[in-house]
Amino acid sequence: MENTQNNNIQQQIYQFQYFKEQRDALAQNLGLISASLQNYMTTKATIESLKNVKEGDEILIPIGGSIILNAKISNTDKILTYVGQDVVVEKPIDETNQFIEKIIEQHNEQIKFLNSELYKLDMTLQGMSQLIQQGSSQM
């Protein structure tokens, strides 16, 4: 009987580790998506500020990694927009803004989903931890 109980606890520990690894992977994905969302929010703010710029104005453009570029505006009506693997298209500012807003919305939905899944896994892990502790104390 003790051997069966020991095997059962060992199996619960393996399941706990499996769920913990899933939880860690989800948390890592959440971090990546949150960072990407922040990047798109910065992009959206930059696009919004371009509406007040005139041709020939000098502006500062954040290009990532805390690096800012000084640039002169030659076209205030359109923006080059990266839309996929090595594909860049010229779009009006409003259309580009809508494109970015859709991406932000998708990111927010992913974050909401991941938070929900993380909560479920946390509850599962908490319950499993209690069961493992109870089983260990009965030995």
Question: What's the predicted TM-score (pTM) here?
Answer: 0.78
Query: First CA to last CA across the chain, in angstroms?
Result: 11
pLDDT of amino acid 139: 61
pLDDT average, residue stretch 105-116: 98
pLDDT of amino acid 134: 80
Q: What does the chain look like in DSSP terms, one character per residue?
A: -HHHHHHHHHHHHHHHHHHHHHHHHHHHHHHHHHHHHHHHHHHHHHHHHHTT--TT-EEEEEEETTEEEEEE-S-SSEEEEEEETTEEEEEEHHHHHHHHHHHHHHHHHHHHHHHHHHHHHHHHHHHHHHHHHHHHHT-
The token duo for 52 is 């007040």
- pLDDT tens for 17-37 read 999 999 999 999 999 999 999
pLDDT of amino acid 17: 95
Q: Identify the weakest region by mean pLDDT among 15-19, 31-35, 69-73, 108-112.
A: 69-73
pLDDT average, residue stretch 114-130: 95
| CB atoms inside a 10 Å sphere around CB 70 | 8
Residue 75 pLDDT greater than 80, yes or no = yes
Q: Given CATH 3.30.70.1050, say whether it is the number of domain 2-137.
A: no
